Amino acid sequence: MGGEERIALPVNWSDGFIVNFNVRADEPWQAPSAAASGWHKDGDWFRHFLDSPEQGLLTIVIWSDIGPQSGGTFVAPDSIAPVARFLRKRPVGYHPAEVRFGDLIGECTEFVEVTGQVGDVFLLHPYMLHAASNNPSGRPRFITNPPVSLREPMCFCRANGDYSPVEGAVLRALGVESLEFQISTDRERVVPERVARQEKMLAEQNVRLSQS
């Protein structure tokens, strides 16, 4: 990210576990490929621009051992380029409800299944498309993916060339040494539909508890 001084504080890890007990366990395991379902780019809480600071890094924190064919996340390492090209074309950005980044997976050829041990942390480029996988192993999988935000938007025209690895990856993906990029509308935070749904569920649960 270019140094701790560029990281927005505070950095919090919540207890929002993403659990895969036995998703599609009755189906044959499917290796990672463009044919897998559910490819996406994270970020349902902000308008997406090429330089968005809201998600400076995508993290996958492993809370249970994940072996092969055990529900590990699929990632597409070469998806940075198609996502970068897509975002560069639209200085007005994309509201998360109006864009399907997963449709870009057809331009990718590299696919990896995440495996690891408890305590491992994967640090991924925020443009990297990823997807859930089926878990026929009989072993539950626990992960979290807290975002790491930047203090300022990414900059692709630093006078001293002091680009972060994340910024450098975007420039290489676009085939340029630097880039003057200006957004043409305001940045926007969005309240995701899932948050409203979760708040409704919590309120209903509190009512049930108060009546018990």
Residue 127, pLDDT score: 98
- pLDDT (0 to 100) of residue 24: 86
What is the per-residue pLDDT for 13? 85
Q: Give the pLDDT of residue 89.
A: 96
DSSP characters over 112-138: EE--B-TT-EEEE-TT-EEE-----SS
Low-confidence ranges of the chain (pLDDT < 70): none
The per-residue pLDDT for 181 is: 97
Q: How many residues does the chain have?
A: 212
Residue 194 has a pLDDT of 83
Q: Exposed, middle or buried, 32 (CB in 10 Å: 0-12/13-18/19+)?
A: buried
